Structure 1
Amino acid sequence: MITIGEALDSGTRAIHAQRVSQTPLLDASLLLCSSTGFTREQLYAKSHIPLDQQTVDTYTSLVKRRCAAEPIAYLTGRRDFYGRTFTVSPAVLVPRPDTEVMVEQSLAFLDRYEHPKVLDLCTGSGCIGISIAAEYPGVEVCLSDISLDAIEIARTNSRTLLGRDVEIVHSDVFSSLQDRRFHMIMTNPPYLTQAWYEDTEAQVKAEPPLALLGGDEDGLHIIRKIVQQAPDHLEDRGILIIECDYRQNGQVARLLEQRGFVDIESRNDLAQVRRIVWGAFHV
């Protein structure tokens, strides 16, 4: 029987050897927490305690999958985002800290509106819209996605984190949202080019290509559709906020301008890289 400390050490060394992570100790800790039900603090406090064989087998399996570049969030089924723990699966993108700037900026706009209605388009796990609903009581949130599997994950997160169901619509961009208007539309759509996708790490390629690849040579096919159609779904002075790659930032701003949006601005993410672009539309 091996102890918690020995298991943590062996898992860390295995992950480090495969060069799939810059944080092998953290990864091994999270996998051992998932296997034992302990917190990370408890792992260290109980490092001398032996593990039963079933727990060892579970942990060993998770470590092997991590060594094969499967994302930690898929292995544990959880990911923290904006102070809350979201359920995730291979059906959705792993929520990233850089996307939290989308939530911060959206919240800053909500006071402009009385009884604000917002749409989280291409919602995935629902992390953006659900975070806004949790942070801003009284906002009316609608989530939408083309993936039925993603919708089920978003529904689970809504019930777990909000204690209720928010509106969730199965829709290819705005196809199922005819005649609906919102004060704000937030979207983290697919925007990678095929070349950028090929250059990503193996663990990124484990995420759903449907949520990564934006289409067209520049990756902006879906963003073009959103920019073109969004004015038909915005209230007067409504705002469209888009996450995109820093290499697309200027082009997305031009798309907004060409469609008639005004007050176009952008904001950096935590790494001080251009991450989101937005504009307002006067109906």
Structure 2
Amino acid sequence: MVSTTPVRELLVGAAACGVERGEAELLLMHALGVDRAWLFAHATDPVDVSTAQAFEALLQRRAQGEPVAYMLGRRGFWNLDLEVTPATLIPRPETERLVELALQRMPEGVPVQVADLGTGSGAIALALASERPQARVTAVDLSMQALQVARRNAVAHDLPQVEFLHGDWYQPLAGRTFDLIVSNPPYIERDDIHVRQGDLRFEPLDALVSGADGLDAIRTLIAGAARHLRDGGWLLFEHGWNQGEAARRLLVDAGFADAFTARDLEARERVSGARRTAASISGTL
């Protein structure tokens, strides 16, 4: 059965549900099984009733706050199209700043050893591996469900040089050292109201919240880093817009050198890091 409603009008009607045009286009492409070029080339084509109903159901889910990425099961990050599920955080553009800074510390053609702690969907680890094929990347996560997603993403993008380990932060890395450790840890304060708003309501809470001040996971990262970094190796991690000063102080207090904070495209402090030297204080994890 064919609906009298064309593609264009379905998209216009999505605004009545409070869904942004760009998100509505993604949802309609998903319902129709087409790409963006088809969507615009066939703007006046009528849509069959079952597809129109499926699209309407997607709009209602989005209007209730469910993230588009979870509805589609996909999210673009860096140069990758990644599978995501409610077991993983949704990769976000600001995390690409961490990837940029990590790549600056990974010479091309050199088999550097990298660890990505709390890998989730594998976004950071796989982005680094895609840009530096000779690097050996070890991705760690406490969630077995997240690791399963990350492994599937590695297979989909033919990145066999990425190793996946199950465990809590440095626990599965005993006796191993790296040239670079990266992480997008949980860093939201426990009482922050934002975790009960928007997309965050649907994402795994233990991958978002980290203690009263949001810094517990960052403290763990810094405490164990010196033991797992080679001399001159870097620790880089994402954090909240208002945590740069605290992150730098923790790094300096732990004996790291060249502590810095970089801003994202919206000029917010987003990534901090520092370098291990022979004088760095040994970690305790």
**TM-score bin, normalised by smaller chain:** over 0.9
Q: In the alignment, is the contact (CA less than 8 A) between 2:110 and 2:135 conserved in 1?
A: no
Distance in 2, Cα, partners of 1:259 & 1:131 = 29
Deviates more, 1:101-110 or 1:4-13: 4-13
Deviation at 1:44, TM superposition (A): 2.0
Kindly indicate whether residue 25 of structure 2 is the aligned counterpart of residue 3 of structure 1.
Answer: no
Could you say what secondary structure the match of 1:162 adopts? coil
1:270 maps to which residue?
265
Distance in 1, Cα, partners of 2:42 & 2:115 = 46
Distance in 2, Cα, partners of 1:67 & 1:40 = 22
1:250 maps to which residue?
245
Q: What does 1:82-161 correspond to in 2, within 5 Å?
A: 82-111=78-107, 114-161=110-157
The code of the aligned residue for 2:15 comes to T
Kindly indicate whether residue 211 of structure 2 is the aligned counterpart of residue 208 of structure 1.
Answer: no
TM-score (norm 1): 0.92
Q: In the alignment, is the contact (CA less than 8 A) between 1:97 and 1:270 conserved in 2?
A: no
The code of the aligned residue for 2:115 comes to L
Q: In the alignment, is the contact (CA less than 8 A) between 2:110 and 2:134 conserved in 1?
A: no
Pick closer, same or farther for the CA change 1:33–1:43 going to 2, 3 Å.
Answer: same
**Residue deviations 1:194-232 (CA, integer Å, cap 9, x gap):** 2324466322221110110011x2111111111101111
Could you say what secondary structure the match of 2:188 adopts? coil
Deviation at 1:113, TM superposition (A): 9.4
2:48 maps to which residue?
52
Query: Which structure has more helix as a fraction of its residues?
Result: 1
How many residues matched?
275
Could you say what secondary structure the match of 2:47 adopts? coil
The code of the aligned residue for 1:261 comes to F
**Residue deviations 1:233-270 (CA, integer Å, cap 9, x gap):** 11111110011112111111111111110011111011
1:196 maps to which residue?
192
Q: CA RMSD for the aligned pairs?
A: 1.7
Pick closer, same or farther for the CA change 1:182–1:199 going to 2, 3 Å.
Answer: closer
Q: In the alignment, is the contact (CA less than 8 A) between 1:197 and 1:205 conserved in 2?
A: no
TM-score (norm 2): 0.92
Kindly indicate whether residue 32 of structure 2 is the aligned counterpart of residue 13 of structure 1.
Answer: no
Pick closer, same or farther for the CA change 1:165–1:111 going to 2, 3 Å.
Answer: closer
Q: What does 1:214-253 correspond to in 2, within 5 Å?
A: 214-215=210-211, 217-253=212-248
Deviates more, 1:6-15 or 1:205-214: 6-15
Deviation at 1:41, TM superposition (A): 2.6
Distance in 1, Cα, partners of 2:224 & 2:161 = 27
Distance in 2, Cα, partners of 1:173 & 1:183 = 17
Q: In the alignment, is the contact (CA less than 8 A) between 1:120 and 1:129 conserved in 2?
A: yes
Structure 2: gaps of 5 or more residues? 279-285
Could you say what secondary structure the match of 1:92 adopts? coil
Distance in 2, Cα, partners of 1:250 & 1:160 = 39
Distance in 2, Cα, partners of 1:137 & 1:150 = 23
Q: In the alignment, is the contact (CA less than 8 A) between 1:15 and 1:28 conserved in 2?
A: no
2:34 maps to which residue?
38
Distance in 1, Cα, partners of 2:118 & 2:273 = 16
Distance in 1, Cα, partners of 2:184 & 2:245 = 17
